[in-house]
């Protein structure tokens, strides 16, 4: 299996779009450079913030090819290859590996309710067809399916290429159970927080970092949470973690994906809107977002 460091702060990078909702590859390349300049430890395409749920297969291939070309091996490239069916997930995972992705992030199947056995069998079958690390992706609020801690442990024990798990449930006890259940394995298993407010708690518990949507807005700040923690500067790491609270508070006004993309746009980057219909932020939310961005800029956040 490919040796990749699954750690640090990895932004689920936005997929910039033009006014006609076509993918803006030129701006994607600029955002990749902005993220790397901010010190992030990987680039993740087709995450929730990357609108992977609404991109066509052709668009995904185009985005992944451009990302791998732009990154040029400076940081690992994670590709979200999960689909609803096992067959489609296998096809997309194999394609991502062929194109040069370093890591696969495989979200649970969605819409239909899946048993833990069905989830286990799904990941086991996909894993037979690839030999790069797989990160399980748990986000039950979006998919309707939760990977229980005991299923994560069993998959980690049984399948070599299953090398980590991203928990975006927002449930601290669940994230903690992922970390505690896998820390005594015969292999290193990398648990990443998918909830930006839990990155430092996860690191303290033994996690490896986070796949952080807020890094699209504040790459340097988010990367510093990990870097400061690793340097033993816990107090400063806590300040960095706390500093994103006011921005995350704006999420109450709309879809977090929409808020994040709108924020990056307001910062002067030509990333466009989220693809319809998921692109509305009420006037009150926009005003509050502008206020928070201004306050954070005055604090030197970037």
- The catalytic site residues sit at 137, 166
- Assigned token pair, 91: 């096809």
Residue with tokens 């069916």: 85
CB 50 within 8 Å of CB 14? yes
Residue 78 three-state SS: strand
Q: Please, where are the H alpha helices in 38-139?
A: 57-71, 86-99, 116-127
For residue 117, what are its two tokens? Answer: 């056995």
Write down the residue that tokens 């997309």 correspond to.
92
Phi-psi region of 232 (alpha: psi -120 to 50; beta: other; left: phi over 0): left
Tokens for 21? Answer: 């909702």
Secondary structure of residue 190 in the 3-state scheme: strand
SS3 content of the chain, % helix, strand, coil (to 5): 50, 10, 35
- What phi, psi does 222 have (nearest 5°)? -65, -40
DSSP 267: T
Alpha helix stretches (DSSP H) within the chain: 25-37, 57-71, 86-99, 116-127, 140-143, 149-158, 172-182, 199-205, 219-230, 234-242, 245-248, 256-266, 283-298
């Amino acid at each position: 299996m490919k040796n990749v460091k699954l750690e640090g702060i990895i932004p689920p990078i936005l997929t910039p779009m033009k006014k006609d909702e076509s993918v803006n590859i030129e701006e994607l390349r600029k955002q990749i450079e902005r993220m790397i300049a901010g010190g992030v430890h990987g680039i993740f395409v087709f995450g929730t913030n990357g609108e992977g749920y609404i991109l066509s297969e052709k668009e995904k291939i185009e985005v992944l090819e451009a990302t791998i070309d732009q990154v040029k091996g400076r940081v690992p490239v994670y590709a979200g290859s999960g689909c609803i069916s096992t067959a489609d997930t296998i096809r997309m995972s194999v394609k991502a590996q062929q194109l040069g992705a370093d890591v696969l992030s495989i979200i649970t199947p969605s819409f239909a309710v899946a048993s833990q056995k069905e989830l286990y069998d799904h990941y086991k079958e996909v894993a037979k067809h690839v030999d790069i690390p797989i990160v399980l992706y748990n986000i039950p609020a979006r998919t309707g399916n939760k990977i229980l801690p005991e299923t994560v442990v069993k998959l980690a024990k049984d399948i070599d290429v299953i090398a980590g798990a991203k928990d975006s449930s927002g449930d601290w006890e669940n994230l903690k159970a992922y970390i505690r259940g896998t820390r005594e394995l015969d292999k290193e298993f990398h648990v990443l927080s998918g909830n930006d407010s839990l990155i430092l708690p996860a690191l303290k518990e033994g996690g490896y970092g986070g796949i952080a949507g807020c890094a699209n807005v504040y790459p340097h700040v988010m990367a510093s949470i990990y870097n400061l923690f690793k340097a033993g500067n816990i107090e400063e790491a806590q300040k960095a973690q706390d500093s994103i609270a006011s921005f995350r508070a704006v999420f109450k006004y709309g879809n977090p994906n929409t808020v994040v993309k709108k924020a990056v746009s307001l910062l002067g980057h030509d990333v466009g809107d989220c693809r319809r219909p998921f692109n509305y932020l009420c006037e009150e939310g926009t005003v509050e977002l502008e206020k928070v961005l201004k306050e954070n800029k005055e604090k030197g956040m970037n």
